[in-house]
Structure 1
Amino acid sequence: MGDMVIVNCTVVDGRAADGVGPIRDAAVLVRGERIAAVGPSEDVLAQAGDTRRLDLGGAHLTPGLVNMHTHLSLSLPGPAGEGVKGMGPHDLALYMADGARRTLRCGVTTVRCVAEKDHADFALRRAIESGRAAGPRIFTAGRALVCTGGHGHDGTDTLECDGPDEFRRGVRGQIKAGADLIKVMISGGIAGEHERIDTPQLFTDEMAAVLATAHAWGRKVTAHAGPAAVIAEAVRLGLDCVEHGYELTPEVAAAMAERGTALVPTLLVTRCKAFFDELGVPEWMQRRSLGAGPRHLESYAMALAAGVPVLLGSDMPPFWLFEGTNATVRELEHMSQAGLGPAGALHAGTLGPARWLGAEADLGTVETGRYADLIAMDADPLADTSAFRSVRWVMKGGEVVRDDLAGRPEA
């Protein structure tokens, strides 16, 4: 796309929760993939010279969203899921590439994949990085580690392990393939017919082996986990992040906050009947999921009260059209409405994830030196998180990938 200066916008980013206010009548100078300057228009334009200008028509400009719980090869129980499971490697790669393209267009410029089939995520990441496919920046765990018969064991997006030695080997295998982090299933969940949400699935020595090995290689560990007792033990051993956290207690939430263990609550997964119906998800799973909803929301409230870092993650495909928007925005709305508020939600969807990923020097804010991963919307996300429903312009790495108003080049 070449260098450009973005004008006629209000810049808002994840530092709002830290007291950094919006920049009104702002401009952003983009050179190559990165932001070269940002500030009041008069100051930035003086640096920009005759650089091409792009008028956003008074939009609010924020960093692109970061979805920390994605499965581009998701296959839940039911006919739709069986269709994905039955795909050959070529079909699967194209299916995931289409999902990545849709994800980027809805304003999610970075994802954290937490279990993908057949290591196709690594091929997709290479294709996106080389420009052969359109999609968000990908941080991935590769295949999730499970015990024999554990949560998600029946898919090629998991690797069955038993005993500390096998779990160590599993961690090393994912790192060898190129994993940025490790995902481990330490309890049952809503999608396993022969388990309960509160079923413990790893012994202490197995969990300790995963954590010690991953940390020795400089990788964080996130865990699919529901019950408080299982989470408490993992947090004590050094767990970096909890996925779901369906049944927290105030005591466990306090321990998470003290140790800096983040929570990706995925509130959508216990309040998405229309999505389940669309996929033909069986009744047993719908009952378990929707029945867990009230307790799930209580757990989330406990985490907020304790000061646990909470991060955006939809579990549903990020781009999926759901309740008048996409799954990523709907999840962020739930997080905001259930106590986080608009400024906190903006942080949870941008700077918070970037910090967890160790990528805050590149992502998460609209600052000089960061990647020009930007989205624009007409409404103010600090007034109402539903502003993200009005995203109409998306840039990734200095390239405009969506422009509903055809750019409005300034005269």
Structure 2
Amino acid sequence: MGEVVIVNCTVVDGRAGGGAEALPDAAVLVRGERIAAVGPREQVLRLRPGAPAIDLAGAYLTPGLVNMHTHLSLALPGQGGDDVKGMGPHDLALYMADGARRTLACGVTTVRCVAEKDHADFALRRAIEAGRIAGPRVYTAGRALVCTGGHGHEGGDTLECDGPDAFRRGVRSQIKAGADLIKVMISGGIAGEHERIDTPQLFGDEMAAVIDTAHAWGRKVTAHAGPAAVIAEAVELGLDCVEHGYELTPQVAAAMAARGTALVPTLLVTRCKDFFTELGVPEWMQCRSLAAGPRHLDSYAMALAAGVTVMLGSDMPPFWPFEGTNATVRELEHMSESGLGPAGALRAATLEPARWLGADGDLGTVETGRYADLIAMDDDPLATASAFRGVRWVMKGGEVVRDDHAARPLR
């Protein structure tokens, strides 16, 4: 197992401000895939004198980002989405592999996929784990569960079910395929032409069937959900996470906090007109998206005030170039600027997702025993979330996959 020492860096992770502080003039000893030691530079160097070193030239070193709402096979209404929908299985696999490579390169070392087409996500995960392609660690829900004609029913990334028995079978079918979690659509949304954001789409017994069955199999459940009343019922039934939460109330936010239900707000989806225009998204969807923006921000503020755990999730492809950076970083900036602050944003992008995934023994902090999934930038992420615009170095599992300062080979 190879060893390398990372030096000339300041180590920062999501514990900062919560009992741990940034560690300047630090070093990190990496052995194989994992971190073997972290501490002051001289202390770590004494552990392995003469070990190969990576000099980060004064950069800030953080855990790799975790994007908790990704669709690498996203196909929205419009020409861009139609192009993806028209792909055969081989084209789709290559398209998603390219997206995975780009995602890793921008500093996202773990993703949670929350509805991908035709179970291609499982093949992608296997290929990444086998080292055949470059990409982040993949946690996936497989196909999202939806009622007949419900949100997202048009594509191969959802499975239509009706009634408690069918939803139980739907949960089991995704677990059989290898799902790490379950995604269910319990309300309408922005992308459904024949629905509203506040359209309820499952009855209580159907939601209970999904949640109870998933929990019996040791899987958490996250739900696409907009309106407060629908979310309140799901939270009471034991829902683990809400996606979007466009129309929360203080009372529902308080219930989420009390029950430990997390929120992935995906603030980008109601403020990304240029992205929609690029993909040829129809005017009705663009209008619905932008009109929901102010209420979406109010809901996010309610969640923060109530103490709800919030986590980073872009909904847009994580790597997508957008407003001078990528979608993941732009989402993180919105989360920070809208009340979370830089330290909270770092936590929402690293430690909190790792805890939700049950992977905080492996991911989310720069600590001994964790995977060496690390990124570096020149600006302080505790001063501004925009520091992540400058990610210039990425390591996953002890392997450097991006180094903007490396010498370029002669041609």
Amino acid in structure 2 at the alignment position of 1:77: P
Which TM-score applies when normalising by structure 1? Answer: 0.99
Amino acid in structure 2 at the alignment position of 1:233: E
Output the CA distance in 2 between the equivalents of 1:294 and 1:194.
23
* Conserved? CA contact 1:362–1:369, under 8 Å: yes
Map 1:1-400 → 2, pairs under 5 A: 2-400=2-400
* Conserved? CA contact 1:125–1:138, under 8 Å: yes
Change (3 A) 1:407 1:384: farther
Output the CA distance in 2 between the equivalents of 1:38 and 1:23.
9
How far the C-alpha of 1:198 sits from its partner, in A, is 0.2
Deviation string, structure 1 residues 356-410 (Cα, Å, up to 9, x no partner): 00000000000000000000000000001100000000000000000000179xx
Amino acid in structure 1 at the alignment position of 2:93: A
- Following TM superposition, the consecutive aligned residue runs of length 4 or more in structure 1 with deviations greater than 3 angstroms are none
* Conserved? CA contact 1:11–1:60, under 8 Å: yes
Deviation string, structure 1 residues 188-245 (Cα, Å, up to 9, x no partner): 0000000000000000000000000000000000000000000000000000000000
Q: Matched residue of 1:210: which SS?
A: helix
Q: Matched residue of 1:212: which SS?
A: helix
Output the CA distance in 2 between the equivalents of 1:154 and 1:298.
30
Amino acid in structure 2 at the alignment position of 1:369: G
Q: Matched residue of 1:292: which SS?
A: helix
Q: Matched residue of 1:95: which SS?
A: helix
Change (3 A) 1:121 1:286: same
- Equivalenced residues, count: 408
Change (3 A) 1:17 1:172: farther
Which ranges in structure 1 are unaligned for 5 or more consecutive residues? none
Q: Matched residue of 2:184: which SS?
A: strand
Output the CA distance in 1 between the equivalents of 2:330 and 2:17.
20
Output the CA distance in 2 between the equivalents of 1:241 and 1:18.
23
How far the C-alpha of 1:17 sits from its partner, in A, is 3.8
Output the CA distance in 2 between the equivalents of 1:8 and 1:156.
48
Amino acid in structure 2 at the alignment position of 1:107: G
Output the CA distance in 1 between the equivalents of 2:367 and 2:315.
29
Output the CA distance in 2 between the equivalents of 1:359 and 1:377.
24
Q: Matched residue of 2:368: which SS?
A: coil
Output the CA distance in 1 between the equivalents of 2:84 and 2:162.
27
Output the CA distance in 1 between the equivalents of 2:157 and 2:32.
36
How far the C-alpha of 1:19 sits from its partner, in A, is 2.7
Which ranges in structure 2 are unaligned for 5 or more consecutive residues? none
How far the C-alpha of 1:3 sits from its partner, in A, is 1.5
* Conserved? CA contact 1:171–1:210, under 8 Å: yes
Output the CA distance in 2 between the equivalents of 1:34 and 1:137.
14
Q: Percent of aligned positions with the same letter in both sequences?
A: 85
How far the C-alpha of 1:158 sits from its partner, in A, is 0.1
How far the C-alpha of 1:49 sits from its partner, in A, is 1.6
Deviation string, structure 1 residues 132-178 (Cα, Å, up to 9, x no partner): 01000000000000000000000000000000000000000000000
* Conserved? CA contact 1:72–1:113, under 8 Å: yes
Output the CA distance in 2 between the equivalents of 1:380 and 1:326.
18
Deviation string, structure 1 residues 29-84 (Cα, Å, up to 9, x no partner): 00000000000001100002211001000000000000000000000000010000
How far the C-alpha of 1:2 sits from its partner, in A, is 3.1
Amino acid in structure 1 at the alignment position of 2:297: L
Output the CA distance in 1 between the equivalents of 2:407 and 2:209.
52
Moved more, 1-10 or 58-67: 1-10
Which TM-score applies when normalising by structure 2? Answer: 0.99
Output the CA distance in 2 between the equivalents of 1:109 and 1:366.
13
Amino acid in structure 1 at the alignment position of 2:134: A
Output the CA distance in 2 between the equivalents of 1:185 and 1:251.
22
